[in-house]
């Protein structure tokens, strides 16, 4: 089970306290009089006796180093020195370490942990041949970025990207996912064969791996249509998923090698009407040659 961000911060604080107690015991048992020295220091500090305090601080350092300890052995070792592992800054805003922890936790849950490099910032138009295909890539970029920017408030709920293999559909999905994750919105990525394999598992009484897909704010489905075609389970499960998500106003972005007509034929009107309803959906058709065959790299 994955740790929550709060648990990660609690673990860091607990570790620091445990480490400190262990080191303190170690020092107390190897330097006689050390605990008395610290008590005297506290007294000097409380009575604002600077002169004595300075002398005792030096004595304490000497005691540590002559016993073979580093002189900062009993200093707190924070994971993050900026917020001292509280996750918050003095002005009440979040520390960058907290933002990073949140992003990492969300990326792990989203199945996108290893895909953080596939983002809008690294989107490279030059891998596409000049002309229609590069223009198509630019259009794809701008539509996808606008879609991602408007989640979770935008009117455009569904984006369906269709076209042959190697035109950058999966990359586009990952770029959308990463942009949305950065803003702290929940995302899940799944490919259609995996979705249907998990459905079969659930029907056989196994784990319901797909349960998390119903309420996630943004669902990314790659390779729609790559699952076995002859399954009525497939259509029923997909309908249940899209129907629920439509009612809840969630966002779904799918990529498919099938044409819009083939999608309609394969999944039927009830699914198509939810995924591709013109009032809240956009279908983007890409044309061109397989990037993996034409790429110069």
**Nearest to Zn ion of 97, 180 (CB atom):** 97
Q: Which is nearer to Zn ion, 17 or 82 (CB)?
A: 82
Q: Which is nearer to Zn ion, 83 or 234 (CB)?
A: 83
Stretch that binds Zn ion, among 93-101, 163-171, 239-247, 270-278 (CB under 5 A): 93-101
Stretch that binds Zn ion, among 45-53, 88-96, 120-128, 152-160 (CB under 5 A): 88-96
Task: Name which of 3 and 289 has its Cβ closer to Zn ion.
Answer: 3
Rounded CA-CA distance 294/44 in Å is 76
Q: Which SS3 state, helix, strand or coil, does residue 218 take? A: strand
List the interface residues with Zn ion, window 94-133 (CB under 5 A). Answer: 95, 97
Residues 51-80 within binding reach of Zn ion (CB under 5 A)? 80
Q: Residue 9 and residue 85: Cα distance in Å, rounded?
A: 7
Phi first, then psi: what are they for 72, rounded to 5°?
-105, 25
Our finding on whether 5 is near Zn ion (CB under 5 A) is no
# chain residues binding Zn ion, by CB under 5 A: 5
Q: How far is the CB of 88 from Zn ion (least distance, A)?
A: 8
The three state secondary structure string of 48-115 is CCHHHHHHHHHHHHHHHHHCCCCCCCCCCCCCCCCCCCCCECCCCCECHHHHHHHHHHHHHHCCCHHH
- For Zn ion, the closer of residues 9 and 123 by Cβ is 9
Q: Cβ 145 to Zn ion, closest distance in Å?
A: 30
**3-state SS assignment for residue 255:** strand
Q: Is 162 near Zn ion (CB under 5 A)?
A: no
Give yes or no for residue 82 binding Zn ion (CB under 5 A).
yes
Dihedral (CA of 240, 245, 246, 248) sign = positive
**Cα Rg, the chain, nearest whole Å:** 28
Q: Which residues bind Zn ion (CB under 5 A)?
A: 80, 82-83, 95, 97
């Amino acid at each position: 089970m994955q740790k929550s961000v709060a648990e990660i911060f609690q673990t860091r604080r607990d570790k620091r306290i445990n480490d400190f107690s262990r080191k303190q015991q170690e020092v107390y048992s190897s330097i006689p009089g050390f605990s008395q020295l610290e008590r005297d220091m506290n007294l000097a500090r409380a009575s604002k006796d600077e002169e004595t305090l300075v002398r005792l601080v030096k004595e304490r350092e000497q005691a540590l180093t002559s016993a073979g300890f580093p002189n900062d052995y009993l200093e707190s070792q924070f994971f993050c020195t900026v917020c001292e592992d509280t996750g918050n800054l003095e002005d009440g805003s979040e520390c960058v370490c907290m933002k990073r922890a949140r992003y990492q936790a969300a990326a792990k849950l989203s199945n996108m942990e290893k895909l953080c490099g596939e983002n809008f910032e690294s989107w490279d138009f030059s891998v596409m041949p000049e002309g229609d295909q590069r223009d198509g890539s630019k259009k794809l970029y701008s539509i996808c970025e606008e879609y991602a920017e408007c989640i979770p408030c935008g009117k455009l709920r569904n984006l369906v990207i269709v076209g042959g293999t190697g035109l950058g559909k999966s990359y586009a999905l990952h770029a959308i996912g990463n942009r949305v994750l950065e803003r702290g919105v929940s995302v899940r990525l799944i490919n259609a064969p995996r979705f249907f394999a998990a459905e079969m598992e659930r029907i056989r009484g196994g784990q319901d791996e797909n349960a998390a897909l119903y309420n996630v704010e943004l669902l990314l489905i790659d390779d729609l249509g790559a699952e076995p075609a002859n399954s009525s389970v497939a259509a029923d499960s997909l309908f249940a998923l899209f129907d629920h998500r439509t009612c809840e106003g969630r966002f779904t972005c799918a990529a498919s090698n099938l044409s819009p007509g083939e999608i309609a034929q394969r999944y039927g009107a009830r699914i198509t009407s939810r995924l591709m309803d013109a009032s809240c959906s956009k279908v983007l058709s890409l044309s061109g040659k397989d990037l993996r065959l034409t790429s110069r790299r």
